[in-house]
């Protein structure tokens, strides 16, 4: 019986998780630092980029690790330089790295601004007691944007991008607002920032104030589920308050009237989700019963 209950709870959790998946897709999600070791002569080196793919219009964090390819030991007195080539202009940028005193296998993290999309060739040049060598890797940089973008702009020291899903919601139903905030022009994350939305009702001209909720896994983003009670064109202002000052951009979103067709579509969606949950409960009960008899 305990197994049956556990299986039912698991099925309910899976079904609810599927139902609650965020409806907006970020074109750039934060990836793990990724890198693999390559042997270059007497050196064994790794170049890691976080996130990977790198985000165009933002800073990627680069970490380098180098050891003796034969012994696996650190190599004191090793000099390392990153040479990063722009895929569009062919211009090469050099970034000097500092070997860490507490762990000579690692070099201090370096930040590099990827201004555009493309495959950026990153070459690590090593010079030390074992001779000169280089390691090369290609870093794909994809556009960092928001699906359903409805407003974007530079406001003082910030670049603010607002997206909505759906971009034209139905009155009395929700739209998921996602807002990205980066510094301008560097494209770096902004710490200790707050976001406030001000929505103007097209019917009454009343202003609805809403505080942005920071995304749990993506601190550069804010996400809120917003319900518009009347149809029409809602104007809004997104204001960022952070250590660099205050900046705001304006935008608008068209809210459609809640017609019978829209209501039927909503009911159909709710019916499908209810069916999936009930099916999960039924299968869990069957599975739990078979386990109990066994």
**48 near 33, Cβ under 8 Å?**
yes
Residues 169 and 74 placed together within one structural domain of the fold: no
3-state secondary structure of 105: coil
Residues 227 and 242 placed together within one structural domain of the fold: yes
CATH code of the domain containing 75: 2.60.40.10
- Is pLDDT of 3 > 50? no
Residues 133 and 166 placed together within one structural domain of the fold: no
CA count, 13 A, side-chain hemisphere, 288: 17
Q: Among 96, 117, 143, identify where a domain stops.
A: 143
Predicted confidence at residue 33, as pLDDT, reads 38
Residues 243 and 165 placed together within one structural domain of the fold: yes
263 domain-assigned: no
80 domain-assigned: yes
- CB burial of residue 204 (10 Å; 0-12, 13-18, 19+): exposed
Residues 73 and 153 placed together within one structural domain of the fold: no
Residues 118 and 69 placed together within one structural domain of the fold: yes
Taking the C-alpha atoms of residue 46 and residue 63, their distance in angstroms, rounded to an integer, is 8
Taking the C-alpha atoms of residue 149 and residue 255, their distance in angstroms, rounded to an integer, is 15
**11 near 19, Cβ under 8 Å?**
no
Residues 250 and 226 placed together within one structural domain of the fold: yes
Q: How confident is the model at residue 49 (pLDDT cuts 50, 70, 90)?
A: confident
Sheet holding 245-255, edge to edge: 207-211, 194-200, 232-242, 245-255
Predicted confidence at residue 2, as pLDDT, reads 46
Beta strands 118-127 and 79-85 are antiparallel
Residues 131 and 228 placed together within one structural domain of the fold: no
CATH code of the domain containing 184: 2.60.40.2480
Q: What stretch of H or E contains 131?
A: none
Report residue 168 as tokens: 């034209």
Taking the C-alpha atoms of residue 147 and residue 223, their distance in angstroms, rounded to an integer, is 13
pLDDT in tens, 134-193: 888 776 766 555 668 899 889 999 989 898 989 999 998 889 898 988 888 777 788 889
> What's the domain count of the chain?
2
Instruction: Give me the mean pLDDT over the 257-285 stretch.
Output: 65
Predicted confidence at residue 280, as pLDDT, reads 67
Residues 232 and 251 placed together within one structural domain of the fold: yes
128 domain-assigned: yes
Residues 173 and 244 placed together within one structural domain of the fold: yes
pLDDT in tens, 8-47: 544 444 444 434 433 333 333 333 334 567 888 899 998 8
270 domain-assigned: no
Q: Widest CA span of the chain, in angstroms? A: 77
Q: Among 143, 169, 184, identify where a domain stops.
A: 143
276 domain-assigned: no
Residue linked to tokens 């000099």: 79
Predicted confidence at residue 12, as pLDDT, reads 45
Domain limits for position 130? 37-143
Cβ-based neighbour number of residue 183 at 10 Å: 17
Taking the C-alpha atoms of residue 182 and residue 160, their distance in angstroms, rounded to an integer, is 7
Residues 87 and 105 placed together within one structural domain of the fold: yes
3-state secondary structure of 3: helix
Q: Among 109, 143, 177, identify where a domain stops.
A: 143
């Amino acid at each position: 019986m305990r197994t049956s209950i556990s299986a039912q709870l698991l099925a309910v959790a899976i079904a609810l998780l599927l139902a609650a998946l965020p409806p907006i897709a970020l074109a750039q999600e934060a990836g793990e630092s990724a890198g693999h070791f390559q042997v270059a002569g007497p050196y064994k080196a790794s170049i890691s980029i976080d996130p990977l793919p790198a985000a165009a219009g933002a800073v990627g964090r680069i970490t380098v690790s180098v050891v003796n390819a034969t012994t696996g030991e650190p190599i004191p007195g090793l000099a390392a330089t990153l040479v990063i080539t722009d895929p569009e202009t062919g211009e090469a940028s050099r970034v000097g790295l500092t070997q860490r005193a507490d762990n000579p296998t690692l070099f201090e993290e370096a930040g590099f601004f990827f201004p555009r999309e493309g495959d950026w060739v990153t070459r690590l040049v090593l010079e030390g007691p074992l001779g000169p060598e280089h390691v090369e890797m290609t870093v794909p940089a994809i556009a960092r944007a928001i699906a359903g973008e409805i407003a974007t702009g530079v406001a003082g020291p910030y670049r603010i991008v607002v997206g909505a899903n759906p971009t034209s919601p139905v009155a009395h139903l929700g739209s998921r607002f996602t807002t990205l905030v980066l510094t301008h022009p560097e494209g770096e994350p902004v710490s200790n920032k707050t976001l406030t939305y001000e929505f103007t009702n097209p019917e009454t001209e009343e202003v609805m104030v809403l505080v942005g909720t920071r995304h749990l896994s993506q601190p550069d983003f804010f996400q809120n589920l917003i319900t518009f009670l009347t149809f029409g064109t809602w104007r809004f202002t997104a204001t960022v308050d952070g250590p660099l000052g205050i900046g705001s951009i304006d935008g608008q979103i068209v809210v459609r009237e809640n017609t019978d067709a829209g209501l039927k579509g909503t009911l159909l969606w709710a019916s499908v989700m209810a069916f999936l949950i009930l099916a999960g409960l039924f299968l869990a009960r069957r599975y739990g019963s078979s386990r109990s008899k066994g």
